[in-house]
Amino acid sequence: MEYFIYRNHTIEPFFNNLNIEFSGYEDISFVDKSIDKYIWCYLPNYKVNEELIAKEIDSYAGMLHILLHKIDKSKMFIVFTMRRIYKVDYQTIDDSVEKAIESYNNQLKILALENPNLKIVDIGGFYDSYSKTDLLDWRFYYISQMPWNPKLSKPFKKWFTRQIEVLEFKRKKCLVLDLDNTLWNGIIGEDGIDGIKIGGDYPGNSFLFFQQSLLELSKNGIILTVCSKNNEEDVFEVWEKHPNIILRKNHFVNIKINWRNKVDNIQDIANELNLGLDSFVFIDDSPTERELVRQLLPSVSVPDFPDHPYLFPVFIKNLIADYFKSYQLINEDIVKTQQYNENALRTQLEVSFTNFDEYLRSLEIKIQIETLNNLNIARLAQLTQKTNQFNLTTYRYTEANLLSIHEDNGLIFGMRVQDKFGDYGLTGLIIIKFEGGDAIIDTFLQSCRILGKNIEKVFIEYILLQIKNLNVENVTAKYIISAKNKQVENLYDKCKFSLINETDVDKEYKLKMENFNYLSSNIYKLHGKL
Amino acid sequence: MKEKIKHIMKQVFELEHVYDNISQLSCEKWDSLGSLNLVVNLEEEFDVVFEPDDIIEMISLESIELKIIEIKKKQ
């Protein structure tokens, strides 16, 4: 896999163009060292309690710190900023979430300064193109916990692909500019130096804006060149004498003013500057010229030219986003960041944990284990139907199936989990069957909501303790490979079971009960309601 | 309409061929995310909006076709 993404919502459709693997929700327990690039995409939850959302955001920052230490410093780690899409304004003013988001984003900047492999992608760059109502479709949020409208997955993918290019410093190097009706309004050969419009009233003022923007680009290291069908002396006169003009002769690194065709001129520029044609962007108001270059020099980028001069601001914004954006935290940002440094660092220390156990402890996880009853049977059957990732055998059961297992003296244990951020409900299931005095773990599954918190270990050990108390000698267990359960392929090894048989489709394990010792953990509050 | 739905399914589930009797049970790629992807593409193609209750019922080619006809009638 090229990418691995850490996330807290359902965002698969937005990244499925990449060769990518997804973490469990809020799961930072696992770092696959073979991955090239890691992504961190955490979004504020849509909950009612503002304080709770804010606390969660603080804890995400803490999780990011922990994870960052585990990731190889030579690997790119792309981190999304956070923004808020949905907020209810009750009468009381509560900006705790806004403050938490601000602090979160500032911490990202600090981390980026300290860790050159950490790159920030501003989610705002995508959000800004849409209204808040477009960004979120509550139907899909409630059906799949999808935080963004899945209809935007295509433009999102395009946008994010571009952001990765920016992070990899892929950008165009050279602009080839036409002059008449491109850098100024009018045609110098016909209208004369007094007739062309730049500066002053519309449309001159919008051409002025365009030239100023191009000057900014040149300051950012983009090479400006000219390719225009004109008499050289006319243009030189404008550059020397026109009072309002911004871009003058010295701003252009290469100048081709002649009556030859533009394809040849662009090729000459490329040769003279020793640049590949794929580094070039060509801007010309004439559709014919653009088409000619598109046809004959397909590696040159040729954006459409705006239909009206007042559209220059939109044109330049897209031009930069599509071709010239470069990744760097600008100086002002860094200064601001340093001011934040002291304050933020203090709050950051409160939420950052020195180790993973401490983080887990801070979650105040409560686990309750219960046996099959009338109230949980429907949900437990549903868990067998829906759970794919953390599911050792992927046996699917109906309510009737569960009842008959129960009647055949099988044991069915459900697990409820909650932490300080909320109640996850019934999210785990273990089914034990008995055969010839041995116990068999028929089913062991957990919903992906609670993965990455080592809860599975607490769950299985508690169940093994119950089995031990029944004076069972051996427990056997199976891992059956499915398309989606690779993440648990070594689970029983980790739980100290011995592998007794392995085939292409499954692995069989055994645990001698005399070798099993129950160790209670002080990280979780465990409560058995059996 | 059936052919259009099948065409969308082919793309969403990355299938070589879509049979008339395709259903969520018989198609491995038709999981909950696949289902959602399908809904999004069907909504765009047929210019309809499915309610969550509709989506739960859309588990086969047949049920999807009926559902779209039903919604189109109400429009």
- At A374, which CATH number? 3.40.630.30
CB within 8 Å: B33 and A151 = no
Query: C-alpha angle with apex A32: A28 to A36, nearest 5 degrees?
Result: 110
- Distance CA(A462)–CA(A468), nearest Å, equals 10
Has residue A334 got a pLDDT over 70? no
CB within 8 Å: A140 and B31 = no
Domain of residue A438, residue span: 363-529
- Distance CA(A524)–CA(A367), nearest Å, equals 7
Number of domains in chain B: 1
- The mean pLDDT value for A462-491 works out to 92
pLDDT on residue A351: 53
Would residue A410 count as lying in a domain? yes
CA distance B40 to chain A (A): 6
Confidence of residue A274 (pLDDT cuts 50, 70, 90): confident
**Residue among B28, B43, B55 whose CB faces A143 most closely:** B55
Domain boundary among A121, A139, A167: A167
Q: Judge whether A477 and A501 are in contact, CB under 8 Å.
A: no
Partners of residue A388 in chain B, C-beta under 8 Å: 31
Partners of residue A12 in chain B, C-beta under 8 Å: 33
**Is pLDDT larger for residue A10 or for residue A334?**
A10
Has residue A451 got a pLDDT over 90? no
pLDDT on residue A332: 46
The residues, ordered by sequence, that sit 6+ positions from A464 with a Cβ below 8 Å of its Cβ are A475, A511, A513, A516, A518
pLDDT on residue A18: 93
Has residue A76 got a pLDDT over 50? yes
CATH number at residue B63: 1.10.1200.10
Has residue B50 got a pLDDT over 50? yes
Number of domains in chain A: 3
Worst-scoring range by mean pLDDT, A75-89, A355-369, A433-447? Answer: A355-369
CB within 8 Å: B40 and A143 = no
Has residue A328 got a pLDDT over 80? no
pLDDT on residue A448: 80
pLDDT on residue A354: 61
Would residue A333 count as lying in a domain? no
- The mean pLDDT value for A103-126 works out to 91
Would residue A338 count as lying in a domain? no
Instruction: Give me the residues paired with residue A429 across strands.
Output: A414, A445
pLDDT on residue A335: 46
pLDDT on residue A337: 47
Nearest residue of chain B to residue A14 (CA atoms): B37
CATH number at residue A282: 3.40.50.1000
Instruction: Please check whether residues A200 and A315 belong to one and the same domain.
Output: yes
Burial A64-95 (b: 16+ CB within 10 A, else e): bbbbbeebeeeebbbbbbbbbbeeeeeeeebe
Residues in chain B: 75
Instruction: Please check whether residues A251 and A318 belong to one and the same domain.
Output: yes
pLDDT, tens only, B8-30: 999 999 999 989 999 888 888 88
Q: What share of chain B is helix, strand, coil (3-state, %, to 5)?
A: 60, 5, 35
Mutation pick from A140, A153, A387, A388 vs chain B, by most beta carbons of B within 10 Å, is A140
Partners of residue B50 in chain A, C-beta under 8 Å: 139
CB within 8 Å: A13 and B37 = yes
* Ordered alpha helix ranges (H), A28-123: 50-70, 96-114
- The mean pLDDT value for A132-157 works out to 93
Is this prediction's ipTM beyond 0.90?
A: no
Domain of residue B64, residue span: 2-74
**Residue among A143, A386, A388 whose CB faces B36 most closely:** A143
Instruction: Please check whether residues A22 and A146 belong to one and the same domain.
Output: yes
pLDDT on residue A329: 55
